[in-house]
Amino acid sequence: MGKGGYYAVRNGRSKGVYGDWSNCEQQVKGHPGAQFKRFDTLAAANAYMSGGSSGQGSSSSSSSSSRSSYGSGSGSSSSYSRSSYGGGSRSSYSNNYSSFSHGTPSSRSNFSSNYHSAPSYSTQKNSKNYSSRSSSSYSGSNSGNYYAVKSNNPSIPDKIFNNWSECQSYTKGQRGLSFKKFDSIESSKNFISGNTDSADYGFIGSDASTFASNHRAPRSKTVRKEQIYCDGSSLNNGRGNAAAGIGVHFRNGTSKDVAAPLDGDLQTNNRAELQAAKTALDTAYSSLKAGENIDYTLHTDSEYVAKLLNDRYSSYTPEQLNLMPNSDIVKPLIKSFAQVKQYYKANPETFGSKKFEVDWVKGHNGQEGNEIADELARKGASMK
């Protein structure tokens, strides 16, 4: 395990041990009385979940009257508030995968409720297509610092700010947003547009022309549409007897649904979510390579997976990827995503201008495809 460590949530929306801060944060941020702690080892995290009080970790708890700050290492503490959270000292693990890894000032910033006055670059989304973007412009002073917000939330447009506090205000408490600091407006726009070609072919291990020549879609076949829902589940997550599984549901029946146990000794929900997405992508890629013209859309209720694949992976260095929790799954997952994404891009005659992205859906919200994938994942976990 690299710098990420393990995050034990004793009291939150979903109790358990998480392999990264992003998923831990989703369980505790704004949750009254949240209790969570970071540990260097899974055993220590499990002991804390069982009621122990190890002093190794960075502990945190919720308080309605306090503002949170990110801990900078072992022994540091922080508290969460419903109304605000600060951009204080950065943690040693946040630079690998947290939205707050870039551009957080060293001093705390209060949130402003009037973010509409902020100078920003913005794009409006088609409510039926999250990746549809209209032309846009940027206005504001050239401070040299730009904070790009990329949205997978259809009700919130992408924006670029040149003021960190305004960026905080815009993103506070919102789901489906990723943001990052850049030193130029062009880099900020590239982050929002998702131009990842160079990074993609690095993961694939090929150049664009070779990949395109080896991945020609047949033009004589009708294009079918398929909605894939993937999910991971860990029974007794965070405990020594945890058993995890993956579920993949093909809504239109172009492939068989998958319910399978998670391989390996570390049976966490996060690893299952990552592996479920990889299994879905590998199935899609195999069908495309076999000459099936299928327009896939991949849905997941893991915000971490959606942000990783839609927004973040192209900005990580190899060293950062190697240090990430679950890097043994993350790196192959990124390759699988890049292959599907570039397959569509290499075949505009068949698929048009399709931009392949992952659609984040809210879990346990009555969406049938997601509920079926969740059931399949639980079934897979029971096979362990």
Task: Return d(Cα 105, Cα 124) in angstroms, integer.
Answer: 28
Handedness of CA 124, 129, 131, 134 (dihedral sign): negative
Query: By the 8 A CB rule, do 281 and 336 touch?
Result: yes
d(CA 86, CA 303): 22
**How would you classify residue 194: left for phi > 0, otherwise alpha for psi between -120 and 50, otherwise beta?**
left
Cβ atoms of residues 384 and 267 within 8 Å: yes
Tell me, yes or no, whether 249 and 372 share the same domain.
yes
pLDDT in the model for residue 44: 83
Which pLDDT belongs to residue 282? 98
Helices (H) and strands (E) in the chain, counts: 13, 16
Instruction: Tell me if 312 is assigned to some domain.
Output: yes
The answer to whether residues 152 and 13 belong to one domain is no
pLDDT, tens digit only, all 384 positions of the chain: 334 678 888 888 778 888 778 778 888 888 888 889 888 887 788 788 877 655 455 555 543 333 332 222 333 333 333 222 222 322 323 333 333 333 333 222 222 222 222 333 444 443 333 333 333 334 345 557 899 998 878 889 999 999 899 999 999 988 888 888 888 888 888 888 877 898 999 999 999 999 999 999 998 889 999 999 999 999 999 888 999 999 999 999 999 999 999 999 999 999 999 999 999 999 999 999 999 999 999 999 999 999 999 988 988 888 989 999 999 999 999 999 999 999 999 999 999 999 899 999 998 889 999 999 999 999 999 998
Residue 53 is assigned to a structural domain of this protein: no
Domain co-membership, 250 together with 364? yes
Domain count, the chain: 3
Do residues 238 and 288 both lie within one domain?
Answer: yes
Q: Which pLDDT score, from 0 to 100, does residue 316 have?
A: 87
Domain boundary at 162, 194, 226, which?
194
The reply to whether 57 falls in a domain is no
Task: Verify that 159 and 259 share a domain, yes or no.
Answer: no
Same domain, 217 and 276: yes
pLDDT score of 195 = 78
Structure tokens at 359: 């659609």
**Measured between alpha carbons, how far is 222 from 94 in angstroms, rounded to an integer?**
45
Domain extent for 270: 212-382
The pTM of this model reads 0.61
Q: Is the dihedral of CA 63, 66, 71, 77 positive or negative?
A: negative
Give the Cα separation of 364 and 373 in Å (integer).
11
Examine residue 55 and state whether it is found in any structural domain, yes or no. Answer: no
Verify that 368 and 244 share a domain, yes or no: yes
- Is residue 153 domain-resident? yes
254 with 308, same domain: the answer is: yes
Q: Which two tokens stand for residue 149?
A: 């917000």
Residue the block writes with tokens 């924006």: 159
In this prediction, residue 5 carries a pLDDT of 76
- The enclosing domain of 41 has a CATH number of 3.40.970.10
Within a domain: 261: yes
